[in-house]
Structure 1
Amino acid sequence: MILIVDDRRENILPLKKILELHRFSVDSAESGEEALKKVLKNAYSVIILDVQMPGMDGFEVANAIAGFSGARDTSIIFLSAVNTEKKFITKGYTSGGVDYLTKPVDPDILVLKVKTLQKLYEQQQELRATQDSLRKEVEVRKQAQEALSERMEELQKVLASLPQMAFTMAPSGKLEYVNEHWFRYSASATDFPENHPDDERCGDWKTAFANGKEFTREVRLKELSTGTYCYHLLRIVPIKQQDVVIRWIGTFTDIHSQKEAAELLEQQVELRTNELLLKNVELERTNHELQQFTWVVSHDLKEPLRKIQLLSDTIKVKYLRDNPDAVSYLDRAIRSAARMSTMINDLLAYSKLSVPENFQSTNLNTLLDEILLDFDDTISQKKAIITIDELPILETIPSRMRQIFQNLISNALKFAREDEAPRIRISAERIDNKAIDASPSPNGTYCRLIVQDNGIGFDEKFLDRIFIIFQRLHNRASYEGTGIGLAITKKNIEKHNGLISAQSRMNEGARFILILPIEQSK
């Protein structure tokens, strides 16, 4: 069975579908903790493990799995879309992984790797079953030497059927049996294949042999027919009877293609990283040029607009007092120029959202008290009632938070019902995770802010439109505005690593829901 571990279901589903199409039995877990519980209960041949997860990350999960005896033959493939540097890849291998892939994953390559590791797992299970059989065989050796011989013959048949190089050794270390694959790399059944001269000598094998311990090592073996060296995984397991080694069983598993793929992957990662750095530099330069262009264009557009407004007012006052039709046309032109000036100012504010600013501890109640002073005239004119609960202190960019609340309060006052005074309430509560419908939690790391009014509201089928720049749900003649305010609000919320949504019905008011972290991650 294959286990896919990823905290995002949308990542699990396509991988699961691909593997199931290749007749793999697939299980899934959406967190490291859930994966560990499943590993304790079930046997998995391969675990496809996401690196970047909340709670336990992939490396921690792999280290924990390594401590489970039932998962010692399980192969781990790491997946990552973020941690693609060589140090993370190295950490993946040292944490127990056999491969490290970056997203997006080529499904064909992934399936080939899983098939290879599944086959290796099955072979290892067969080998362990054979080891158990051998142990039982040794226990009755004194009583039935013939039974032992039959068991050895069975073992040799199993080893002969393996696609790997397989061999057995006597307790002294002398070769007793080799299968047919052995002769691709050695001309003699009594001599080991030739290692690459640059490989380390197996000094560790002498220690393992002396202590009767299992031995594993990557080696390069010279193929007789081609003279080339290929990577193999050497594994030698002791067979014991009453804690005494009576035989050694070993395999050489061809991992050359995996090593080449890993080396190629490292080269590609390095190449792509360099390309990304160059693209980032180019993008920063382009953004800077765009900001300068936006400021210049906005400044150059505002100057002639001011002249149009000034000259239109002068013409209306000096020359057209007795011509009401002309005054009406000029008033419309003046209002259009004022609306364009407002739109230019909003566009300039929108373009400045990409400028980096520092977060600082912010008292939202104090900030709102200052903002409400700007709306004194409108609040008095509309007899609005504004209630603000005790709000938490958050790490924010104060200027951006000021824009957020100014836009939301302005909209609540603007889109009020004609027959009822506006009522606006701003409340907050701590929640346990970054989600619009997250459960309240006194010690939660996120805050849910709600700005609620009793205005004209909107149809929720247009929810996706209200946060798009220049999108309006109401006609300009009835309600002023450029359609940029909520787009700026959404950009500012995203700048704070938060979420924004809304709930409403026509003529029943609206609730804007903001999700913000209490403290910004460093």
Structure 2
Amino acid sequence: MILIVDDRRENILPLKKILELHRFVVDTAESGEEALRKVLTTSYSVIILDVQMPDMDGFEVANAIAGFSKARFTSIIFLSAVNTEKKFITKGYTSGGVDYLTKPVDADILVLKVKTLHKLYEQQQELRAAQDSLRKEVEVRKQAQEVLTERMQELQGVLASLPQVAFTVASNGQLEYVNEYWFRYAPSSSTFPAVYADDNVWDEWKRSLTDGGEFTREVRLKDLNTGDYRYHLLRIIPIRQQGNLTRWIGTFTDIHPQKQAAELLEREVEVRTNELRVKNAELERTNHELQQFTWVVSHDLKEPLRKIQLLNDTIKEKYLKDNPEATPYLDRTIRSSARMATLINDLLSYTQLSAPEAFHPTDLNSLLTDLLQDFEDVTAKKGAIVDVGPIPVLDVIPTRIRQVFQNLISNALKFAKENVPPVITIRAERIDTKDINGCPVPDGAYCRIVVQDNGIGFDEKFLDRIFVIFQRLHNRTNYEGTGIGLAIARKNIEKHHGIISARSRVNEGASFILVLPVKQAANESVSETR
């Protein structure tokens, strides 16, 4: 903005009109006092000031303006029609004016001078704005540097307190700081520790330095005091500020004791593994010999038993038919021989479970239909009802799974309530997990089969006993059996990578729950579960 100061309005108007034609914003004042008031509130690039004015002449106004901080960059052009002598011109310059023109003024010259001074004022304003911005930026940088210095001091204090080798690296890969433990492995604060001869850790670190990623490695550092190499875990992480990598922080953690312990453990594991291989080989030989022994003994025991049973039957029929006192004793001998034969057969079946066999997709509904034909006489005699629901095709060993259902159905018929027809239901559903309480899902990986009866049941506190060989919950007088059937069932289910359990209450029947995989591992056969 341009300010024209003149006590005569007829002098102001032509100048104002000329400057406005050249797109200047022009303000006017008709006295020195009015000019000073305006300078106090408004910034002007150029003031055109008349020298001859009443009350305050132009020199006095210029001297007053020079004391205003708001106008310290404003240029003053004096205009005078009377005071054209050298001393007045000199006084104008010494009063703070940048030019002194005498009237009549050449309008073109005046406009050119105003344009030049106005442009100079704008450049000064831009320069001052740039200086202010630069000053603020310097201040911000100074504050940031102070904060960074404080943080670096804090970081170095933390690194100094660590019981590890700790260091920082500048973004260019040069070491900045190392703590006291550094000098146990490095001769100076500007060189990295010596590593084992075949370890290329520092070459790898250079690649990581370029990539800007975290670097972690196990290294062996040479202890300068002893000359020994100790295992350390090296970890160097990048530190970034506003997305720019500023430095790296690294540590060497001594893991030598753990490494030695791990190596010792590996050696011990290797020794124990070799010992176990030998023991397993011996156990397999012994198991094979035991199977052969069991087979031979079972066969040799069954032969005399058959003769005892045959001779007892012959004696009873030929010689004791008319002796009522001797017949009961001989019947007891015959029953004991039969139980011994059954026991030998069950033992033989139990020992044969260790033989490896292959899995096959099996229709269990068809298998159960065939199996129930073997129980037709018993079910007819007891009036039993067996209800079998649909069961999906499962990967099983048919002979083994048949043995499981045979034992469960046989027990359900055996432990029926007196004078109550047995009711046996068999239901199946697919579930999501290998768990007795797994959730039913249409395409589950496992199948849960429940064999439920309405028999005498048992107290669940004996649940762990019923699957143990030779364990019986009822006396032999009331219920026949060897106590091996459920043990055989559990071992067969375990061969199928499944689980078996039961739920029951006394006199409220029992439910036996089987959980089997729908699909077994491809081409897998099983040996004895240990």
Q: 1:219 to 1:477 in 2, by over 3 A?
A: closer
CA offset digits 1:137-192 (Å, max 9, x no partner)? x9954446555444433332222112122233445544343221122123323333
The answer to whether the Cα contact below 8 Å between 2:395 and 2:520 also exists between their aligned partners in 1 is yes
The answer to whether the Cα contact below 8 Å between 1:215 and 1:236 also exists between their aligned partners in 2 is yes
Paired residue secondary structure (2:192): coil
CA offset digits 1:332-363 (Å, max 9, x no partner)? 11111111111111111111111111110111
Tell me what 2:163 maps to: 163
How many angstroms apart in 2 are the aligned matches of 1:427 and 1:144? 76
Paired residue secondary structure (1:371): helix
Tell me what 2:250 maps to: 250
Tell me what 1:361 maps to: 361
1:315 aligns with 2:315: yes
Corresponding letter in the other structure for 2:469: I
Tell me what 1:285 maps to: 285
Q: How does 1:209-288 map to 2 (within 5 A)?
A: 209-210=209-210, 212-240=212-240, 245-288=245-288
Q: 1:200 to 1:289 in 2, by over 3 A?
A: same
- Scaled by the length of structure 1, the TM-score of the pair is 0.69
Q: How far off its partner does 1:201 sit?
A: 5.7
Paired residue secondary structure (1:193): coil
Q: How far off its partner does 1:427 sit?
A: 1.3
1:305 aligns with 2:305: yes
Corresponding letter in the other structure for 1:372: L
Q: Structure 2: any 5+ residue segments left out of the alignment?
A: 1-137, 523-530
Paired residue secondary structure (1:463): helix
Paired residue secondary structure (2:452): strand
Q: How does 1:13-162 map to 2 (within 5 A)?
A: 141-143=141-143, 145-162=145-162
Tell me what 2:80 maps to: none
Measured on the aligned residues, the alpha-carbon RMSD in Å equals 2.4
Aligned residue pairs total 385
Q: How far off its partner does 1:399 sit?
A: 0.5
Q: 1:214 to 1:432 in 2, by over 3 A?
A: closer
How many angstroms apart in 2 are the aligned matches of 1:221 and 1:357? 56
The answer to whether the Cα contact below 8 Å between 2:466 and 2:472 also exists between their aligned partners in 1 is yes
Q: 1:443 to 1:164 in 2, by over 3 A?
A: same
Q: 1:386 to 1:180 in 2, by over 3 A?
A: same
Paired residue secondary structure (2:457): coil
Question: Comparing 422-431 with 200-209, which one deviates more in the overlay?
Answer: 200-209
CA offset digits 1:301-340 (Å, max 9, x no partner)? 1111112112222222222222211122111111111111
Tell me what 1:373 maps to: 373
How many angstroms apart in 1 are the aligned matches of 2:188 and 2:243? 31
Q: How far off its partner does 1:237 sit?
A: 4.0
How many angstroms apart in 2 are the aligned matches of 1:276 and 1:186? 46
Question: Comparing 350-359 with 503-512, which one deviates more in the overlay?
Answer: 503-512
Tell me what 1:78 maps to: none
Q: How far off its partner does 1:243 sit?
A: 5.4
1:443 aligns with 2:443: yes
Tell me what 2:53 maps to: none
1:329 aligns with 2:329: yes
The answer to whether the Cα contact below 8 Å between 2:201 and 2:219 also exists between their aligned partners in 1 is no
Corresponding letter in the other structure for 2:168: T
CA offset digits 1:370-401 (Å, max 9, x no partner)? 11111121122222222111111111111111
Q: How far off its partner does 1:515 sit?
A: 1.2
Q: Structure 1: any 5+ residue segments left out of the alignment?
A: 1-137
Paired residue secondary structure (1:455): coil
How many angstroms apart in 1 are the aligned matches of 2:316 and 2:250? 101
CA offset digits 1:107-164 (Å, max 9, x no partner)? xxxxxxxxxxxxxxxxxxxxxxxxxxxxxxx995444655544443333222211212
Question: Comparing 327-336 with 202-211, which one deviates more in the overlay?
Answer: 202-211
Whose Rg is larger? 2
The answer to whether the Cα contact below 8 Å between 2:201 and 2:217 also exists between their aligned partners in 1 is no
Question: Comparing 336-345 with 406-415, which one deviates more in the overlay?
Answer: 406-415
- Scaled by the length of structure 2, the TM-score of the pair is 0.68
The answer to whether the Cα contact below 8 Å between 1:434 and 1:498 also exists between their aligned partners in 2 is yes
| Percent of aligned pairs sharing the same letter | 69
How many angstroms apart in 2 are the aligned matches of 1:477 and 1:493? 30
1:489 aligns with 2:489: yes
